[in-house]
């Protein structure tokens, strides 16, 4: 068993990200597996200098030490390019020259009024037509017509979440052909995370509930690339005072790792774990592993 915690260095760890870090660590440790840390800094425009090292220091203060040296997505572009090249050769990826305005107008013309803040379902505007690659283009993955799908047949993904049970999503209808590489040259999250999980041999992904909708896209991409699909579990989110997910965008405060046991106990309570007090971080974590092992399948997931 190999699990991972993959923070983005846009700010230090807060209470919500500590829940994900602790849960992924406990899940692996309870099975006697290996736990890795990946710094997801593929979107360099949003990342802040030095925050990656701060995150690693926060984890270390709480006793969450990876079993292998951390990796940085910004250093793995060759892997992502190789995956995109494979998809292009298979006829599954294609260039898209649509601007946001183009997509807005296309969705309106199709009678699907786009939400200003929600995700837009790509209408397939550039699929099947020649798009010059000498200008700024994005690269999209087909969710029809590829990898054994009959012409025009929708891609429906059925999968099992360890917490939520059976899940299904019609990618063609609910998402459309999604971006693998952005028009500004940055790699999209979906491609990077799929390639990295496979390259690092990740068997189990434990992460926040806000990412559950990404899972079908990642499973489809794994199938297109011939990669294994990990087991997934999506955790309840820590919410801010406004009722939204606690995040750096809504002012989440960095956890104070000068009191690591307080941080760990708070994360455990959110996960529904009752861990007895301990004098040291190491002793507390050992108890937490035992609690997780005894109750995770019955009570948590």
Beta bridge partners, 235, equal 208
Backbone φ and ψ for 217, nearest 5 degrees, come out as: -60, -40
Neighbour tally for 61: CB within 10 Å: 16
Per the confidence metrics, is the pTM higher than 0.75? yes
Q: Is 197 exposed, middle or buried (0-12, 13-18, 19+ CB in 10 A)?
A: buried
Place of tokens 């997910």: 245
Q: Which of the residues in the chain have pLDDT under 70? A: 108, 110-111, 113-118, 132, 145-152, 240-251, 296-301
In this predicted structure, what is the pLDDT of residue 135? 75
In this predicted structure, what is the pLDDT of residue 151? 53
CA distance 16 to 239: 8
In this predicted structure, what is the pLDDT of residue 152? 62
Summarised one tens digit per residue, pLDDT across range 200-227 is 999 999 999 999 999 999 999 999 999 9
Please calculate the CA angle 39-58-205 and round it to the nearest 5 degrees: 45
CA distance 195 to 147: 18
Q: Cβ distance 206 to 235 under 8 Å?
A: yes
Backbone φ and ψ for 290, nearest 5 degrees, come out as: -65, -40
Tell which residue, 210, 187, 277, 258, has the closest CA to residue 17.
210
In this predicted structure, what is the pLDDT of residue 169? 95
Tokens of 218: 């990642």
């Amino acid at each position: 068993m190999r699990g991972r915690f993959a923070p983005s260095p846009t700010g230090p760890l807060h209470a919500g990200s500590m829940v994900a870090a602790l849960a992924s660590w406990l899940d692996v440790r309870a099975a006697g597996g290996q736990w890795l840390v990946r710094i997801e800094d593929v979107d360099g425009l949003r990342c802040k200098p030095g925050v990656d090292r701060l995150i690693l220091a926060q984890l270390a203060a709480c006793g969450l030490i990876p079993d292998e040296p951390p990796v940085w997505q910004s250093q793995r572009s060759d892997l992502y390019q190789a995956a995109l090249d494979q998809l292009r050769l298979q006829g599954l990826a294609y260039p898209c020259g649509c601007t946001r305005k183009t997509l807005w107008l296309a969705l309106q013309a199709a009678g699907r009024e786009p939400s200003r803040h929600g995700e837009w379902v790509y209408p397939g505007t550039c699929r099947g037509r020649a798009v010059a690659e000498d200008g700024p283009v994005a690269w999209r993955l087909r969710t029809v017509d590829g990898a054994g799908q009959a012409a025009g047949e929708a891609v429906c993904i059925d999968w099992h979440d360890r917490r939520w049970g059976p899940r299904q999503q019609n990618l063609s209808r609910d998402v459309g052909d999604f971006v693998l590489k952005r028009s500004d040259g940055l790699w999209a999250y979906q491609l990077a995370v799929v390639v990295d999980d496979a390259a690092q041999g990740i068997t189990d992904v434990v992460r926040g509930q806000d990412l559950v909708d990404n899972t079908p896209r990642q499973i489809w991409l794994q199938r297109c690339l011939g990669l294994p699909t990990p087991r997934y579990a999506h955790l309840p989110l820590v919410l801010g005072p406004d009722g939204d997910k606690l995040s750096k965008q809504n002012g989440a405060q960095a956890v104070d790792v000068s009191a690591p046991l307080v941080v760990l106990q708070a994360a455990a309570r959110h996960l529904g774990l009752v861990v007895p007090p301990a004098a040291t971080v190491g002793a507390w974590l050992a108890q937490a592993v035992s609690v997780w092992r005894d109750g995770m399948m019955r009570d948590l997931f």
